[in-house]
Amino acid sequence: MDQKKFKELTDGKIILLDGATGTCLQKAGMPAGVCQELWASEHPDIILELQKGYVDAGSQIIYAPTFTANRYHLREYGLQDETVRLNRELVELSKAAAGGRAYVAGDLSMTGAQLYPMGDMGFDELVDIYKEQITALAEAGADLLVVETMMSLQEARAAVIAARETCSLPVMATMTFQENGRTLYGTDPSVAAAVLQDAGADAVGINCSAGPDLMVPMIEKMAVTARVPLIAKPNAGKPSFDKAGNAVYNMDPGTFCSHAEKLINAGVCIIGGCCGTTQEHIRALAERAEKMPIPVWEERSKMPELAATERTLLVIDKETKTESIICSRDTLKNLDALMDETEEKEDADALLIIFEDSLDSEEVQEVLETVREVTDKPLGFQACDKNVLALARRYYAGCAFVR
């Protein structure tokens, strides 16, 4: 499937995803603490039964169980050299389960690494980790990709960018939010939608997080800034915990669907279930979706220009106060002066960085890191060199306006 076909698939329709994988595998006997991807590959009959059941229930897209099958995470189990094999085998297994009746999404999630400056992982290094996994997923025959259960917006951007630079498959991207309506790193749903679609996601949304009831106001915020289809894949309610410490999800299919209907009314057109949901939840959802009106989307041309950091969103219009910062190679010789100039423009709503020279990737990153040390204002970029402009947009942890 390419991006054009994905747009046709989601245009004027409600698309059903699958339900939970991890909690269902646990019920089927997967012990705690094991590598889920390895266990799934060693128990193909369980995966086949689970995913065939989802397709029978009405799922049009199922997720291959490749969730954290990236080199960085697999090294925790000494399996980093099995990255390609595991991704290929698990996609092939899901393709067999789909039997041509549903699309298979290659699934990517958090690596567990901390990006610089909070950790030691460089942005390009993280992109390359995702590229390896994406290449394996694409070569195995995945119909599309899904970046899910993301808590870090910049890591989600890295995965989406890796996909855009590796293949032509459509990319869905969903973040996970806490009950306060923000991610673990403080990102608001409206910001997440703006940033991820700017990075190249073909659909954006929310998964896991809480139950469908608590997800409604979050989706409503996303709908304000989303210019691509919205996704919701909620848990079966808020979990309780048994004596062994295992999460227990008690929301029945009927209640789940009643809340899911509100998600569709809020603008969601791609919907499924996450932790605690089963084939029964998806079957009930399929029956309910048949009777639901299709969300209507505004024309892309009618949407305002947006700029965002990881935590703040700004609508760019004629009232926006923008200050410019001229940046050349000489600027790199005196970064303290750059910081001083940035601080002096604190009254501005947004800052426009004008790159006069052809800087390389390290130099562009150095400029951005210096500016971000002293301000959280949304940024815009202007450059005669298209490569510099592309680098600035790549490394900026947000959504920039361009001049």
What is the pLDDT averaged over residues 128-142? 98
What is the pLDDT averaged over residues 278-289? 96
pLDDT at 2: 95
**Do the beta carbons of residue 322 and residue 350 sit within 8 Å?**
yes
| Number of CB atoms found within 10 A of residue 336's CB | 8
What is the pLDDT averaged over residues 51-66? 98
Classify 241 as helix, strand or coil. strand
pLDDT at 295: 67
pLDDT at 36: 97
Q: What angle do CA 185, 240, 38 make, to 5 degrees?
A: 70
| 210 pLDDT more than 90 | no
Quick one: which of 144, 305, 302 has its CA closest to 231?
144
E strands, 256-346, where?
A: 268-271, 305-308, 313-316, 322-327
pLDDT at 297: 60
| 290 pLDDT more than 90 | no
pLDDT at 289: 87
Q: Distance (Å, rounded) from C-alpha 383 to C-alpha 227?
A: 26
The string of pLDDT tens digits covering residues 151-160 is: 999 999 999 9
Q: Sort 185 into a burial class: Cβ within 10 Å, 0-12 / 13-18 / 19+.
A: middle
The string of pLDDT tens digits covering residues 241-281 is: 887 777 889 999 999 999 999 999 999 999 999 999 999 99
Instruction: Specify the amino acid at residue 49.
Output: E
E strands, 240-396, where?
A: 240-241, 247-248, 268-271, 305-308, 313-316, 322-327, 350-355, 379-383
The string of pLDDT tens digits covering residues 36-58 is: 999 999 999 999 999 999 999 99
Higher-scoring residue by pLDDT: 292, 223: 223
Quick one: which of 138, 198, 149 has its CA closest to 177?
149
| 301 pLDDT more than 60 | no
- Looking up tokens 């899910």, which residue turns up? 148
**Do the beta carbons of residue 275 and residue 20 sit within 8 Å?**
yes
What is the pLDDT averaged over residues 127-156? 98
| 65 pLDDT more than 60 | yes
pLDDT at 270: 97
Token pair recorded at residue 159? 């995965």
pLDDT at 298: 56
Give the count of alpha carbons within 13 A of 174, CB side only.
Answer: 30
Cα separations in angstroms, 89 against 40, 49, 54, 144, 189: 10, 16, 19, 16, 34
Beta-strand relationship, 379-383 and 61-63: unpaired
| 294 pLDDT more than 80 | no
Q: Distance (Å, rounded) from C-alpha 397 to C-alpha 191?
A: 11
**Do the beta carbons of residue 68 and residue 110 sit within 8 Å?**
yes
The string of pLDDT tens digits covering residues 382-402 is: 999 999 999 999 999 999 999
Classify 240 as helix, strand or coil. strand
pLDDT at 240: 85
Token pair recorded at residue 331? 């600027």
| 12 pLDDT more than 90 | no
pLDDT at 302: 63
Record the pTM. Answer: 0.96
Instruction: Specify the amino acid at residue 332.
Output: L
Q: Give the DSSP per-residue string, 114-132.
A: -BTTTSSB-HHHHHHHHHH
The string of pLDDT tens digits covering residues 360-374 is: 999 999 999 999 999
List all residues 6 or more positions away from 184 whose beta carbon is below 8 Å from its beta carbon. Answer: 151, 152, 176, 178
Beta-strand relationship, 313-316 and 240-241: unpaired
Residue 304's pLDDT band, with cuts at 50, 70 and 90, is confident
Residue 296's pLDDT band, with cuts at 50, 70 and 90, is low
